[in-house]
Chains A and B, each alone.
Chain A
Amino acid sequence: MTDEAGLLGIYRTAVRINRADEKLRGLLTSGELAVSYYSPRGQEVVAAGMMSRLRAEDYLVTTYRGIHDQIAKGIPLEPLFAELFGRVDGTCKGKGGPMHVTQPETGVMVTTGVVGSGLPIAVGLGLAAQVRGQDRVTVVCFGDGASNIGAFHEALNMAALWRLPVVFLCQNNRYAESTRYSDGTTVERIAQRAASYGIPGVTVDGNNAGEMAEAASQAVARARAGEGPTLLEAMTYRFMGHYFGDAGAYMDADEFVAAQAADPVPALRKELLRAGISTEEELTALENEEQAAVDSAAAFAKASALPGVDELRRDVYREEVVA
């Protein structure tokens, strides 16, 4: 069971994600930031719950819709925001941008913009840990839509075959761009597909912090013990359309309203109060702290310099590219 400190920690992370996302959407609206942005709004608790079960040295691979995963894994807000602004103080010196945030020191090894491509890479991270006899775990996040691409199947099969320490976390937000889940997928649950590879497939309410953390704990423990991969499907919902600016006109209105009413971040807050884990004052203080951290990260990013053009020819190969 997730203890009180665990739930409170998940709430803090979820608030950080939530406020960071809100800030970024504000900056996009005002025009201070101009990037392709895929909001994780509605999926905060999935990431916060999952990553709360990991160690710093565990690996994460995620996608363009990945800022919640990156924050939850521990990337500090300042270099994260600076990367989104394309600044030299960004995690990747501004050379990756929002779709390619990387920070090995917090275990964030790859963020990919190609649907499904992270899964085979995660298999390789797990393979490296196994070959070296390390008990490091790799988590790879992807969407419901990604489970229809070939790489998903190749990766699950290979990870199952070699019993690799990988947790495949499908964040099922019911849509792949503008295509509804049931218009792209015939199985009722993505987790059912685990049966094809002889590994556990678990579906949880990813928006319930306790359930999410518990399922994550089990998958991580299994991986760490050398028992192999798990396909973990976290049911969640995408509140902000596919990309920033997408009004989501194709989304089912009733479903949308119901999902908003069950907003996972306020729901967790209510639960912390109900269970007597925290007081109103404590939570307000926590929220103010996270808001302040987000505001200062945004200020930091805006003040950071743009990279010099000499960066263009660096990091293509180990040796700088000659003109």
Chain B
Amino acid sequence: MARTQPSPLVHDLQAALGIEAVLFEPEDLLPYEFDSSIDRSAPDVVVLPRTTEEVAAAARIAEEHHVPVVPRGSGTGFAGGAVAVMGGLLVVLTRMNAIREIDAANRLAVVEPGVINLDLQDALSSFGLLYAPDPSSQRICTIGGNVGTNSGGPHTLAHGSTVNHVLGLEVVLPGGSVVNLGSRQVDAPGIDLRGLFVGSEGTLGIVTAITVRLIRENEAIRTMLAIFSTVDEASNAVSEVIRRRVVPMAMEMLDQETIRVVEPRVNAGYPLDAGAVLLMEVEGLVEAVDQDSEIVIEACKSQGARDIRIARTAEEREALWEGRKSAIGALGHTAPALYLLDGVVPRSRLPEVLHQVLGLSREYGFKCANMFHAGDGNLHPTVLFDPEEEGATERVLQLGGEIMKLCVDAGGSITGEHGIGTEKREYMDWIFSEADLEAMSSVRLAFDPTGRFNPCKILPTGHGCAQGHFEPIKRKLGPGIYV
């Protein structure tokens, strides 16, 4: 029995989607108040649609009732994108989780937005195919969320981000009309609305189906771990590999702070006395793999690598990756809370920026661990702190801002894959002019004239956004979650 009297909004939603698809009791809303960011705010209603038509009906009803609409996948986003900061209707897409089609001959698949990234990968493996974007959260995040944030992963270095692998999108626009952007083929005519939509963090519409491009598994793959005494050496090795004209599939770095936490828990084989390790992977025809790994090894040695280990079996490869993938989970056990940052610098600036990041963290009195996509220059400084400690959260946020400034000063960006959301709205004018931001507002207006979709996200302006509802929360990521 409902204890809360259903509002007219709830009533209309129930009529369109069925009673069990609509949540509005405060305790039912609780799990939907936050994502993996530090923001928290309750929606007024949550709907769990099963079809495109239901999503469209929900969007129409929200429009009639003049309430904000926030799309949500698994809520693993780090930028607060899936938090209903102005309340309103949260559209949770996790029930739309069918893989509608796998067309192996033409290397494409059509999936609903709630499909978990890894579930798609698993479904493809028997075809010898891959969906390239592999965010470290792939065991829990949705493809819809990946489209929302234009997710990357370790293999982005060679294959690019989500946008490079989305062929077409079915989208419910604000107001409830359904439109197809892109196609089942590459290079559809007209303005690249597909490309514009990917990474728009739920502000331009709700994705209800995604046509993704698949790639064929390679004949051979080699995973290597290069061990260095210092982060500097490891960073220089990254540039050296590229200088020698090899772009590996992945180049991930873990620093000493991370290794010391991860290794005892995971037994990945990272030496505890290493200053940094580089986890690298080359793929292709056997001949290419032999050649490229030789060049990679030489390049690492030239920059002072102490040792280079090569995975001889699939199990060894898994173990090396497990260390990387469990890093954030392992770090979560060492401190009451983590603040995981996401910034990008030109890869040739990695050594100096990493130095500065570590220096700043020391100044602030925090431990900072680094495990990141070194080949892309995509940093993830992870600050360990205790939110119960007086003023700690504020100081961590301040440190985060300063680290972002370092990235900007080095010619980089304030986010490589996690998005702007609410977290980095205020930093947007560090990299964009007023005119740039105004042009971005124009994009938003073209899709959503009333600004009802995911308000207060991405752009630093917005009616009533200034005050925010931001209540830092204490969070620990569970086992099996990794970054």
A binds B: no
What residues make up the interface of B, taking CB atoms closer than 8 Å to A? none
